[in-house]
Copies of this chain bind each other. A is one copy, B any other.
Amino acid sequence: MSVTLKDVAARAGVSVTTASRALAGYADVSAETRQRVAAAATEMGYRPNVTAQRLQKQRTDTLGFIMPTFGPRFSDPFFSEFIAGIGNEAAAHNYDLLVSAHAPDSEGERQAYERAARGGWVDGLIVVRTRVNDPRIQLLCRQGCPFVAFGRSVGELDYPYVDEDSLTGVGLLVQHFIDLGHRRIAFISPPTTLMFGQHRLQGYRQTMAANGLPIQPDWIVEGDLTQRGGAEKAEQLLRLDPPPTAMIVGNDLMAIGAMRSIQQHGLQIGKDIAIGGFDDIPLSAYTNPPLTTVHQPIYDIGRQVCAMLVNIINRRPLPTAHVLLTPTLIVRESSGGPVSALNEL
């Protein structure tokens, strides 16, 4: 069906070996033969069979990325941007990117990682949204499968990662609201099974404490990272008596949902209540009002994670195995202005 190296060799009147070496640019083939082979190859439209090359080279030149997806209607701009990042960087290094989707901690996910770690399915993996006691990381470490994670983990396992210091990030947000005079600040946390959930929650707790502000237990609720989840949890917070004067939401998507709930309560964001998100997805600049948030360079993180993985696979020394990015606060109108702190508590 397809034209193979043997065909090209026959056409050029040389052996398969010579044809191979001619195309690969080895020195032990004369300029004239090289040319003849090249001509034959282009004439016949020869494309090397990647599978055969991979079998021979004992490497797949492929990276794996297993998206942790929750349910069907899965529409998170994070993943589009992240995949674009790793995809472009992978292409720059002549790697392919294999993507699949599995629910976190599902049996299917376990099997997918199992399969990836052995059997030469891919040369390395990219892991995102690391979890507390992450079984994926444990498995990959145990099997010695190359990988780089976007996100730290707890425990003694040492592995390469890129992460944003979201503890500090949320701290910036909290301090920002405190400086504006807010005292009753609530927090819609990402799932605390996720490492960044832990970090962001801690950032909230620590900064409140550092300012000597007490936290009511019901100021902390946990959402599922979707708009719907954010809306529901915000609804819950708004029913408190007295309600919080500011909300910090664990990611922008939930924050957008929360804004909706606030507005449905007839409250004006930036005046009656302040709100801040996390991620700085492009949309957050276009909400009404625009959302105060913490920037996270998803595309660049994707590229960096991928570049690190390629280095590991090729056993090149890694400049740094642990990258922690400093977050920057993006203040927009959803912060509102200063409020009088006196009648706050």
Interface residues of A (CB under 8 A from B): 2, 45, 47-52, 54-55, 60, 62, 67, 69, 72-81, 83-84, 87-88, 90-91, 96-102, 108, 115, 118-121, 226-228, 231, 253, 256-257, 259-260, 263, 281-283, 285-288, 290, 298-299
A249 CB → nearest B CB, Å:
13
Chain B residue at smallest Cβ distance from A300: B72
A344: min CB distance to chain B, Å: 26
Residue on B nearest A57 in the bound complex, by CB: B51
Q: How many copies does the complex hold?
A: 2
Which listed residue, B97, B102, B118, touches A47 by the CB 8 Å rule?
A: B118
Distance (Å) between the CB of A338 and the closest chain B CB? 23
Write 14 A-B pairs (CB below 8 A) sorted by A numbering.
Answer: A47-B115, A47-B119, A52-B55, A55-B55, A72-B84, A77-B77, A77-B80, A83-B83, A84-B101, A87-B100, A227-B286, A259-B288, A263-B288, A283-B283
* Chain B: CB-nearest residue to A64: B96
Residue among B79, B90, B283 making CB contact with A83, cutoff 8 Å = B79
A98-B98, A288-B259 known; A67+B51 contact, CB < 8 A: no
Q: Which of B47, B83, B100 contacts A67 (CB 8 A)?
A: B83
A101 touches B119 (CB 8 A): no
Closest to A81 in B: B75
Asked if B287 and A288 sit within 8 Å, CB to CB, the answer is: yes
**Which one of B49, B83, B226, B227 lies within 8 Å of A120 (CB-CB)?**
B49
Beta-carbon contact of B75 and A87 below 8 Å: no
Q: A97 near B100 (CB under 8 angstroms)? A: yes
New A-B pairs, 9, CB < 8 Å, besides A72-B84, A227-B285:
A51-B54, A67-B80, A73-B282, A87-B99, A87-B100, A96-B100, A98-B99, A231-B286, A256-B286
User: A100 to B108, Cβ gap below 8 A?
Assistant: no
In whole angstroms, what is the CA distance A102 to B100 when docked?
Answer: 19
A290: chain B residues at CB < 8 Å are 260
Report the nearest B residue to A49, measured CB to CB.
B120
Q: Are A60 and B51 in contact (CB under 8 A)?
A: yes
- Given B52, B98, B231, B288, which contacts A260 in the complex, CB threshold below 8 Å? B288
